[in-house]
Amino acid sequence: MKTTLKTALQEQFLAEYESSYLYLAMAAYFDQSGFSGLANWMKQQAKEELAHAMKYYDYLISRKETVTFAAIAAPKANWKSVKAVFEDAYKHEQKITASIGKLADVALDQKDHATYAFLQWFVTEQTEEENQVEDILHKLQLAGDNTVGILMLDRELGSRA
């Protein structure tokens, strides 16, 4: 595998851990604010991100490439509202979608079809992740400052397993 592609995959492995860390920080913010359902949703999301990281780990190993480790920056810990948390989550997913798009471009550029095929799962997954967060944001927009509406969403998101 060419160095640029290998480095990009190693960086994405780290980015998935960063995502997990960010969502766990969001979960803690919700738990500490009394929204256990929203916290549950974020904890499940944090677990999914770890599973994504492992896909990169396994792929690098399967291609006989090195898995590299680096420090993970501390995520933000405070937000001004429930909506602000999901706005950040949405921006974060858009950023991840863009970086997977770039990774796929590099794979195509280098005619590494195996990596390009591997990345297709993530391309599909990102559409789903962006849609899920967008849907929650839409519900929060409808709820506005209505606490009952936010508590109903808290109950709904508490069932994510």
Least distance (Å) from ligand OFO to the CB of residue 51?
Answer: 8
Exposure letters 68-98 (e unless 16+ CB within 10 A, then b) = eeeeeeebeeebeebbebbebbbebbeebbe
And the tokens for 105?
A: 């471009």
Select 19 or 40, whichever has its Cβ closest to ligand OFO.
19
Quote the DSSP letter at residue 145: T
Quote the DSSP letter at residue 70: -
Select 42 or 150, whichever has its Cβ closest to ligand OFO.
42
Residues 49, 52: Cα–Cα separation, whole Å: 5
Q: Does 12 bind ligand OFO (CB under 6 A)?
A: no
Residues 157, 161: Cα–Cα separation, whole Å: 9
Least distance (Å) from ligand OFO to the CB of residue 73?
Answer: 15
Q: Does 49 bind ligand OFO (CB under 6 A)?
A: yes
Select 49 or 154, whichever has its Cβ closest to ligand OFO.
49
Least distance (Å) from ligand OFO to the CB of residue 22?
Answer: 8
Least distance (Å) from ligand OFO to the CB of residue 52?
Answer: 4
x-marked contacts with ligand OFO along 126-155 as a string, rule CB under 6 A: ---x--------------------------
Select 19 or 39, whichever has its Cβ closest to ligand OFO.
19
